[in-house]
Structure 1
C-alpha cells in the first residue's frame, strides 16, 4: 500500500460517468446524513462541508427529495446559492413517500408523479435543471419504461440533463437502457456489501453505465465511528439496520478490527482503506461519501492518495470475504423492496 502526498488544495481527478453521463470528480459528496438520518446534524457545518468538497475539486452532490422531507434539498440550495452553476452537479433521487411522522409509505414513480416531484426539487434547490434524476427505488406498480420515459421528456424540456437508476437489477437496467440513455446506477457497494459483483456490475459494464457507490463505509461500520455498546437514536438509520443489532454487530466489529490492523500497518484509517478498496475496483465506480463535517470530508479525500496493490487487495478479500458480514444491509421490509437483490 502506497500513499501519494498531495496539497490540500490539489484538485480531485475527474472521470466520465458511464458512456453518456457527465464528467465527475473521482469521489462525490452524499448529503443524506446532513438531514438527520444518522442523528442530529448541524446546518452550518453541513454547509461548510459542501463548500469544502467543492473547493477540493469534487463536483457531484447527491441528495433525495425525501431526505429530511425536503430539508436536505433546501440546505443544499442555500449552500450553493452563490456558486456558479457550472461548478457543481446535482444528483437527485425521487419517489419515496413519507408521512409527517417520518414513516415510509412506499414509492411512487408514475410519470405524472415524476413530473410533480421534479417541480418541487427544482424550487427547493433553487436551480433550473437537475444534472442526474433517478427514481429512488423501482415502483413495482409502474413499468420502468414509463418512469424513464417521463424523465426523458424532462431531459427534452431542459429540466434534467441525465437519467440515473438506483438499486435495480440487471433486467430492469436493460429495460431502462433500451428506453433512454442511462448515465449511472446508484447502488450500495463496499468491502462488506458486494452483491453487485455477481450480475449487476457485469450488466452496467456491458451497457456502458457508470456506478455511483453509496454505503462505502457501510453506514459508519467501516470506520472508527462505531464500537461495541454504542446505541442509536430512534431516527438513526442504524437503529433499524440488522448489521448494527446484537450479535450481528459484535461479529461485524470483529471484521472491522481485522481491517483496522491492516490499515494501521500502512498508516491509514479504516475508512480510508474502505474507500481506497472501492476506488480500486474500477474507474467506472465513483464513491459517493456521506461526510457531514469538514474533518470527515478531509479524511475521505485523503483516501484518493492510497494505492492498493494486487497483493493488498487479495489480503483484504481474505481478511473479509464477500459473505462474511452478519445481517442484511436493510431491515426486512426495506430489503424486500430492492429490485437489485432479487
Structure 2
C-alpha cells in the first residue's frame, strides 16, 4: 500500500505506524528488550511513523525510542509525541506558555532530538479548543525551532472539528475503529477538505478487536484494561473504546466470520480502518517483534468488499452504537 501524505507538512508516511503507549506503561509488565526488538523489527520492515507521549511510562517510551534510533543511526522516522497530561488537573490555565515549553524541552531531552517532528496537545479539556491563545503558544514554539509541526489528540469529534479551524493544526489523533464509527460521518470529510492529517488511535479497541479475549481473560493490576475499565483514572473511551467488556466480546464473535483467509482478526480491523482515505496513519501498539510485523502486514491485505463493510456497520448499529455514538 502506498504512503499517504501527512496533511500539509510535506511529508508522507506508511499507513501503519507504531503506537508506543504499550512499551511505556499501563499495559501490564513491559519487557524493554522485547520493546526494543519490536521497534527494530518494525523499522526494518519499512515502518516510518512512531507515536509516543511524555507520560507513557513518565518518559520511558520516549527514551526507548531514542535508544533504538541511536542504535540504528541514519535517517530517522517521523516521531510524534504529546504534551499536557503531566498536569495534575486538566485546566485551560495549565496549558500556559511556561508549561508547554517545559514539557517540550523534556521531550527533546528524552528523545535526544534537536527539534521535535510533531507535538500533539494530549487530550486537553474541551474548553481549551475555544482558547486561541493556546494554539498561538504552539505557533511561537514552532517559530523558535523547538518543533516543526503541532496537532492535537482528542477524545471527542466536537474537539476535532474545532481544532481544525486553527490553520496551524497539522494533525488530529482520534479513536477510530470498528467500534467507533462516528469520526467518519463528518470529521473525516472536514479534515480532508482542510488537508489535515488524521492519526487513528486505539485501532484494536485495547486489543478487544484482536479476537484473543474471552470472559475468563484476566488483566494485571497495572494494565488500564483492569484499572480504568469504568473510567476511574482517565476517559473510559480509551479503554475498550468505551464499550462494555461483555458487549464487545459478543460483537467480536459476530465480526469473526469476516476475517479473510490467511489473515488475523487484528489485521482485518486494521485494514478496515485503512479503507477510508481520510486516515493518514493508524497506530496499533506492539510489545513484540511478531506483533509489530503482523500489524504492518495488514496493509498488504486486499481491499475489503462492500459486503464486509456493510456487515461491520450492521454489527456497530445493532450492538455498539447505543454505548458510544453520542458520547464521543
TM range (shorter): 0.7 to 0.9
Q: Closer, same or farther in 2 for the Cα pair 1:321/1:168, shift >3 Å?
A: closer
Identify which of 305, 312, 318 aligns with 1:309: 305
**Shift of the alpha carbon at 1:287?**
0.6
CA-to-aligned-CA distance 1:94-116 (integer Å, 9 cap, x gap): 10026xxxxx6436322221111
Matched pairs, number: 313
For 1:191 and 1:198, how far apart are their aligned partners in 2? 14
Q: Name the counterpart of 1:293.
A: 288
Aligned position for 2:64: 75
Partner of 2:235: none
SS of the residue corresponding to residue 72 of structure 2 reads: coil
1:231 deviation in Å? Answer: 1.8
1:89 paired residue among 60, 75, 78: 78
SS at match of 1:222: helix
1:50-129 matches, cutoff 5 A: 50-84=39-73, 86-97=75-86, 105-106=89-90, 108-129=94-115
TM-score (norm 1): 0.83
Q: 1:144 to 1:82 in 2, by over 3 A?
A: farther
Judge conservation of contact 1:110–1:146 (CA < 8 Å) in 2.
no
In the alignment, is residue 191 of structure 1 matched against residue 157 of structure 2?
no
Give the match for residue 157 of structure 1.
144
Q: After the TM superposition, which residues 149-228 of structure 1 pair with which residues of structure 2 at under 5 Å, given as runs?
A: 149-167=136-154, 172-173=159-160, 176-228=163-215
Note the C-alpha offset of 1:91: 0.4
* Corresponding position of 2:234: none
1:324 Cα offset (Å): 2.2
Cα offset for 1:171? 6.2
What is the CA distance between 1:121 and its match in structure 2? 0.4
Deviation at 1:38, TM superposition (A): 1.3
Alignment partner, residue 121 of structure 2: 135
In the alignment, structure 2 segments of 5+ residues that lack a partner are 231-238
2:177–2:204: 8 Å Cα contact kept in structure 1? yes
Write the distance in 1 (CA, Å) between the matches of 2:313 and 2:165.
35
Deviation at 1:21, TM superposition (A): 5.2
Per-residue CA deviation, residues 265-319 of structure 1 (Å, 9 max, x unaligned), is 633111011001001111543111111111111111111121212232223323x
**Unaligned residue ranges in structure 1 (runs of 5+):** 1-11, 99-103, 330-339
User: Residues 212 and 285 of structure 1 are in contact (CA less than 8 Å); yes or no, is this contact kept in structure 2?
Assistant: yes
| Residue among 38, 49, 65 paired with 2:27 | 38
- Select between 13-22 and 208-217 the one with higher mean Cα deviation: 13-22
**For residue 325 of structure 1, what is the aligned residue in structure 2?**
320
Partner of 1:256: 252
Whole-angstrom distance in 2 between the partners of 1:30 and 1:216: 10
Relative to 1, partners in 2 of residues 1:222 and 1:284: Cα closer, same or farther, differing over 3 Å? closer
CA distance in 2, matches of 1:130, 1:63: 12
